[in-house]
Structure 1
Amino acid sequence: MKADPATQLRLLDLQAVDSNLDRLAVRRRDLPELAVIAEHTKTVDSLKADIVRVETEISDLARAQRKLDDEIDLVRARADRDRRRVDSGQVSGVRELENLQSELASLARRQGVLEDEALEKMEAVETLDGRLAALAAERDRVQAEVDVAAARRDEAFAEIDAQAAERRRERERLAPGLPAPLVTLYEKIRSTSNGVGAARLVRRRCEGCHLELSGADLREVAAAAADEVVRCEECRRILVRTAESGL
């Protein structure tokens, strides 16, 4: 393939633009804020799940507490009714009086048990309320960090995208001025060589693979016509000769 030396040098300009675009893409992909957002979002989701579980526990306890309160009211009403019968003096039989007194004692014990259970439920709800408040506060704190990281990410994206747009415009100005076959070869090599399709030969070293050419390879490159498109024997990238090549 033939291309005059000036055209080959412009190919290096195209490579510089493409390398810049690749670096911008890597920078965009590897922004530290993205890792922070991903990690903290998982934490927020976990905290939200914990909050739902605690809220469910509180709801279950509240329902159980209401059931206990209703049962306590029933026991208290039964005891009040029996007490009124005893206090009214209407119970004349000794056996009936003993039965009522025994039932009052049993109802008092039952009421005490129910009230203890209700108190336990109340204390458990208070503990869970504290846990819920702590979880909500932690969720809000971590979410705030996510929001800050997202704002920084968006700011960085805007800056990177603006630079990438400028590089793409520069590429659109450069590429049409190069021979299509040369650009096709360059693109083919670039796609399989870590984004580098053309490299400068500097002091007998290929800047693509960073290896020094052997004596035989160097003599072959030196003997090639100035408009000959030469390739590095090691990495097969297009090798562009300059005044610094050491030929």
Structure 2
Amino acid sequence: MTDDADTAENAEPAAPADVSLASQLLTLQRIDTEADQLAVRRKRLPERDDLATRTDQMTAWEKRRTQLVQRLAELATVIESAEAANAELTSHRQRLEAQMKTVIAPREAEALMHEIETINVKRDELDDKELAALEEQAALDDDLTAHLGTEESLRTALRSSDEALARVCDDIDAELAGLVDQRIAALEPLDSNVTSHYDAVRSAVGVAVAELKGHRCEGCHLDLSAAEVDTAKEEAAESGYTDCPQCGRLLIV
């Protein structure tokens, strides 16, 4: 009994039964379907939409900041120009006023007074323009300060969204890499003619393999005639699969 027991322990494990071609094709299709679903999911992640929203918010924030800074620069130029023009007009008026003290002829004095009045009108216009620019500048300074105060929270939210998307994508990419390995293993036992046929059908209709349930192809969901079913069963018995006469998929019977 001891010898028999040792013999049983040392015996090679029984070889697994050969996997049918139909099963191999279904396995290959399952792998490809999972990969396709993951690829679609990767494109439609809610994290991607959230990142797009955060990016748009940041872009709008930067645009508004640029607008505020540019307008403040324009106002500073307006104020500076008004002050310079006002100083020049003031200097000119002072010269005219000094000249008035030396004028005797009434007509010449009248002309000088008219010119001084014109300068005063221009100065008033410049003062109004400068005042309006100063008031707008003060308001925009407050707006810019408040706007800059929101930057950190926006950038933090954007960074968090980017990191969240990256994490989910990394997880999906890891799953896809695993499916690539599975696909390589699934292709190994298949004949090249079968894989070429599979790839051609997959390229044409997406899902290349479908099962026949009753009279219906589960790929195109159309019924086969009784004669077509009989033919499909005969061909599948010989080669492991047949082609759906309706959609061209590799049909597993």
TM-score (norm 2): 0.73
1:13 aligned to 16, 27, 31, which one?
A: 27
What is the Cα deviation at residue 217 of structure 1? 1.7
What is the Cα deviation at residue 197 of structure 1? 1.2
- 1:49-60 correspondence to structure 2 within 5 Å: 49-60=63-74
Aligned to 2:182: 170
The superposition leaves residues 39-96 of structure 1 with CA deviations (integer Å, 9 ceiling, x where unpaired) of: 543454344334323322221210120122233444556677899x7xxxxx688879
Q: Which moved more, 1:137-146 or 1:183-192?
A: 137-146
The superposition leaves residues 80-124 of structure 1 with CA deviations (integer Å, 9 ceiling, x where unpaired) of: 7899x7xxxxx688879x88x959x84666555433322111011
Q: Secondary structure at the match of 2:237?
A: coil
In 1, Cα distance between the equivalents of 2:249 and 2:210? 7
* Structure with greater contact order relative to length (CA < 8 Å, sep ≥ 6): 1
Could you tell me which amino acid in structure 2 is paired with residue 218 of structure 1? V
The answer to whether structure 1 residue 63 and structure 2 residue 74 are counterparts is no
2:127 aligned to 115, 131, 136, which one?
A: 115
Contact 2:31 2:179 in 1 (8 A): yes
In 2, Cα distance between the equivalents of 1:136 and 1:202? 65
Identical-pair percentage = 25
Matched residue count: 233
Q: Which moved more, 1:45-54 or 1:157-166?
A: 45-54
Could you tell me which amino acid in structure 2 is paired with residue 205 of structure 1? R
- 1:18-97 correspondence to structure 2 within 5 Å: 18-75=32-89
The answer to whether structure 1 residue 235 and structure 2 residue 247 are counterparts is yes
Contact 1:41 1:143 in 2 (8 A): no
Contact 1:5 1:227 in 2 (8 A): no
What is the Cα deviation at residue 198 of structure 1? 1.3
Could you tell me which amino acid in structure 1 is paired with residue 72 of structure 2? I
Contact 2:72 2:137 in 1 (8 A): yes
Closer/same/farther in 2, CA of residues 186 and 92 from structure 1, 3 Å limit: closer
Aligned to 1:156: 168
Q: Which stretches in structure 2 are left out of the alignment for 5+ residues?
A: 1-17
Contact 2:47 2:164 in 1 (8 A): yes
Closer/same/farther in 2, CA of residues 92 and 204 from structure 1, 3 Å limit: closer
Q: Secondary structure at the match of 1:177?
A: coil
Contact 2:236 2:242 in 1 (8 A): no
Aligned to 1:221: 232
1:211 aligned to 200, 204, 222, which one?
A: 222
In 1, Cα distance between the equivalents of 2:224 and 2:145? 69
